[in-house]
Amino acid sequence: MTWLAVRGGDTSSASTPAPGSNPALDNLEQLGPSSEPGVAEVGDEAPDFALATLDGSTVRLSDFRGKPVVLNFWASWCAPCRREFPLLRATAQDAHGRYVVLGVSTSDIRSDARSFVRDEHATWTNGFDADNGVAKSFGVIGKPQTFFIDARGRIAARIPAELTEDLLARNLAKITRAR
């Protein structure tokens, strides 16, 4: 297994990357365990939560049990989050009931998050993590961060960086194949 270390903006990997590849992005799915006790890890059951949504209703992760979920933590002030939103919008439009895209705005101002979602034409459900409790239970420190959760509710992958089309496709395949 290859582990990725990120310190002070430097990324290094224990394996030699293929020519032309980006080892920092290629190995994001293989991060080692979190140092925080009680934080959800790849292979664990995703912690359930209930959040107020930006449109005023309530969303629970358990509402989607039986369907794969792309769970994206973001903030309106986060430049990489802003860059990946069009990719998430296209992903949500392509879901056709095979999976769910669920956003969680964290470390944000509700009115800013609501405006951003409206301006970006986000059609997927976005919860507002007012006290950052949901983010903490998933070990989210930086944003964006995306979790790929299978239909059984288990975390199949964690991407602690801006999604690329390739990262998204590889990890969607992990949670949508042979359900």
Q: Which pLDDT belongs to residue 101?
A: 97
Is 62 a residue whose pLDDT tops 70? yes
Domain boundaries along the sequence of the chain: 1-32, 41-176
CATH number of 41-176: 3.40.30.10
Per-residue pLDDT, 36: 60
* pTM attached to this predicted model: 0.81
pLDDT at 30: 44
For 17-59, the pLDDT digits (tens) are: 333 344 444 444 444 444 466 788 999 999 999 999 999 999 9
* Position 83, amino acid: R
> How do residues 142-163 score in pLDDT, each as one tens digit?
999 999 999 999 999 999 999 9
Strands 145-149 and 155-159: antiparallel
Torsion of CA 150, 48, 125, 156, to 10 degrees: -20
